[in-house]
Amino acid sequence: MAQSSDELIKREIYDYFRSHDIGIPLRIFPQSSREDQELFSKGGLTFGVGNTKYGSCDAAWFSNESWCDRYDGSFHEIRPIIALEGTDALNRGSSGNAQYQRFHHALGAVRNGVVGVYYFRKGVDPIQPDLFGMAAAASRVENSLYLVTDDLEEVKTLLLSLQGSHVQDFIETRLEQMEKVFSDSFDRRYGSDWERFADARSSIIQGQIVIKYAARNIRNFTESSQRAGHIAVGEMYLTKYLFPSHRVKYLFPRMTSNDLRDLDTLKTTDKEWFLLRNEPGVQICTLDDLIGLDPKMRKALLSVRLSPLKGSALMTYNAEVTKLHQELKNGSVSLR
């Protein structure tokens, strides 16, 4: 039987660091396991802050030092040094925003003051430059390094650097390298213009608010065959960290306020939905929060509310959100 992406990544990490022993203990569960989902302080690979759990990681290195778990404020005798979340996305056709979907897994560690790594196994697709920008921005906001890489040798170098006296120089150099990858792409694709970037990324900048809209509907969050929740969280953090001084209004124009209430009831144990609903500075909005909306546009969006976005439904949605984008920009429609 072929290995899952999760098992493949874990086996690669396990084998690499077994053959490159650096004397730093590694916690990893090479087979698919629910142990990952336990808090790090309870023997697992999940991190949380203020009773909010983030996704589980694939591996973590640690030392025998005191550490305070920011999930519940308890102290422990094992301190995580690096937490790594890995993916085989570059070999599985994930060339776009699907690459963001596991970003929040290592973010839980970063928000605990632990170095986070989002590791991509080398493949046929490149890593999205935006990921380097959002990871570098997250590092500066959270005051802990978040590294995006496709090289386990770099992870080994980072581990060794964390034990030395020049660790801050290493971190700053790596942050500047990630920022350059993003800025070079940003200049090439958008002429370093944030308005152009926002327009291309289904976003509108309004003073200190950024409106980000996406075509998610209630079925995307309730049907197990769909991973929209993970991607929605990734896009939320992309917007939040690339616009760190702005509040984010995350608009789902194919959802209603009743849909939000239903999801709040149905998804009480869902990490991704909980993150969407509880991220500071982020407000989830729906069709019902649009003020000044033409009733015909509302009717058209409601007509594709539960439809798979293909064929005529996709054409209807694209036509309506193109108009909505312009009306949000010129102020004829607003969000409460």
Q: What are phi and psi of 90, to 5 degrees?
A: -70, -15
**Where in the chain are the domains?**
5-186, 194-335
H-helix or E-strand spanning residue 46: strand 46-49
Nearest one of 257, 264, 320 to 294, comparing CA atoms: 320
SS3 282: strand
The label of the residue with tokens 């005051």 reads: 143
Give residue 139's identity as a one-letter amino acid code. Answer: S
For the chain, 336 residues long, give each residue's pLDDT as a single digit of tens.
456 778 899 999 999 999 998 999 999 998 767 899 999 999 999 999 998 999 899 999 999 999 999 999 999 999 999 999 999 999 987 778 889 989 999 999 999 999 999 999 999 999 999 999 999 999 999 999 999 999 999 999 999 998 877 889 999 999 999 999 999 999 999 999 999 999 999 999 999 999 999 999 999 998 866 667 889 999 999 999 999 999 999 999 999 999 999 999 999 888 899 999 999 999 999 999 999 999 999 999 999 999 999 999 999 999 999 999 999 999 999 999
Cα–Cα dist 193/297, whole Å: 30
Would you list the DSSP string of 117-171?
EEEE---SSPPPHHHHHHHHHHHHHHTS-EEEES-HHHHHHHHHHTTSTTHHHHH
